[in-house]
Amino acid sequence: MAHNAQEHARSGFRTSDGMFTVDSDQRIKTWNATAEKLFGYSSDQVIGKKCYEVLCANSNPGRVKCSRGCVVMSNASKGRTTKDFDLECKTANGDVKNINMSIVLPMQGSGSREILHMFRNVTDRRRVESASVSLSNSSIDQPNNTTHSPTGFRLPPLTTREDQVLKLLSAGKNTNDIADILDIRPLTARNHISRLLTKLGCRSRLEAVALGTRAGLI
């Protein structure tokens, strides 16, 4: 009866995020459609397996390591939550994805011992952020804080967000893609693009990408 109640409770959740649950032994109990799409494993392939055996990429630089007896499990055993964190995970075809994970613990007295993991793919977002930080660090000593290529072609100084948008435009991303990757509203993304074009004096996104390439930003 308790098992049926837990299954019913889980079926009541609807989310576009990836979601899976593990028991106190770190065995995967549920695995939703988004998780299947992102990692390439069907629920039949992972149910009953240890979560770290399925997901561990062995190269995670974050504060939470995907392993047996991880921080999430240690905290959960003491009734403590774990702040959201980034985690490098492997997919079925061997690719490495950067995901941001949130942990939800069952309420005391609910009878459930399963720990809910909700996550979203932030691979593109983190890559763009990292590239922007590298550009910012390399531009600190440049005269007048302008951005230029070895050939001397210069652009007006770009904010971190403008640089991120420019790189995403160069990757062929549209407004909705940029909003999703940067976790902002489409209207906000459109405004960032408009301000970028105005600053660069460009009439089109393609022209902005061409200028960014000429300046060595892309």
| Residues 53, 90 contacting (CB under 8 angstroms) | no
Q: Higher confidence at residue 76 or residue 2?
A: 76
At 139, phi and psi to the nearest 5? -100, 0
Q: Higher confidence at residue 108 or residue 165?
A: 165
Give the Cα separation of 203 and 214 in Å (integer).
16
Structure confidence by residue, pLDDT tens digits, 146-171? 544 444 557 788 888 998 999 999 88
% of residues, the chain, pLDDT over 90: 45
Q: Which range, of 107-116, 195-204, 207-216, averages the lowest pLDDT?
A: 107-116
Structure confidence by residue, pLDDT tens digits, 35-59? 999 999 999 999 999 999 999 887 7
User: 2-121 in CATH: which number?
Assistant: 3.30.450.20
What letter does residue 95 receive in the DSSP assignment? -
Give the Cα separation of 144 and 156 in Å (integer).
9
Q: Which class in CATH covers the domain with range 125-214?
A: mainly alpha
Q: Round the average pLDDT of the chain to a whole number and report it.
A: 82
Confidence of residue 112 (pLDDT cuts 50, 70, 90): low
3-state secondary structure of 46: helix
Q: Is the pLDDT of residue 31 over 60?
A: yes
- Domain parsing of the chain, residue ranges: 2-121, 125-214
Adjacent-strand bridge partners of 87: 99
3-state secondary structure of 216: coil
- Give residue 145's pLDDT: 47
Its pTM stands at: 0.64
3-state secondary structure of 151: coil
| Residues 69, 77 contacting (CB under 8 angstroms) | no
- Give residue 132's pLDDT: 61
User: DSSP for 180-200?
Assistant: HHHT--HHHHHHHHHHHHHHH
The number of angstroms, rounded, from the C-alpha of 164 to the middle of its chain's C-alpha atoms is 15
Per DSSP, which regions of the chain are E strands? 18-22, 28-31, 85-90, 96-104, 115-121, 147-148, 154-155
